[in-house]
Amino acid sequence: MKMHLIIPLLLLAGYFSVNAQTNAPSNIPFWQKPIMRDCGSGGTPIGTLNYPIGSYLTIEGVKAKQDPMVIANQDLCLVEKVNGSILSNPVNIKIDEARGWSNGIPFVFKGYETFRMFGTPPAEYFAAREAGNKDFIGTQEIWRLEFYFVVTSVVAPKEERH
């Protein structure tokens, strides 16, 4: 089996084995936190902010410092408070509306956390092999889940972006 098929499968297997756990403590890193409550019973996914996806939240923090050469991380923010409660471990999360703001700018946003998938699903590799396409390599992006925050209103800052 080719390496480009093995690596996504191993990553996916590891992801699901970690996320099959339930009732994990809230102080573990988000990539080890279960994303489903009552897995298999139609539970609500839990996001990196430790609230069910789609919950209306007020978040506070600062625009995270980024390497100006890494375009993919230009919208990361360090969330320090959720609904007025200070997080014991601040969380970096993508917030598209923060793109263009200076590093270190404090913010207060209202909105909700959600997620999206990136990369080529493992099923694409199997389908290509089944169809006899041995040269299929998919996208360069690893099949992964990305959490991000959708801003419905900006409480602060009231400054202009660059």
Cα torsion angle, 98, 103, 105, 106, sign: positive
Domain count, the chain: 1
Task: Answer whether residue 161 is part of any domain.
Answer: no
pLDDT at 104: 80
pLDDT band, residue 142 (cuts 50/70/90): confident
Q: Which domain holds residue 53?
A: 3-156
118 neighbors 146 (Cβ within 8 angstroms): yes
Task: Answer whether residue 162 is part of any domain.
Answer: no
pLDDT band, residue 134 (cuts 50/70/90): confident
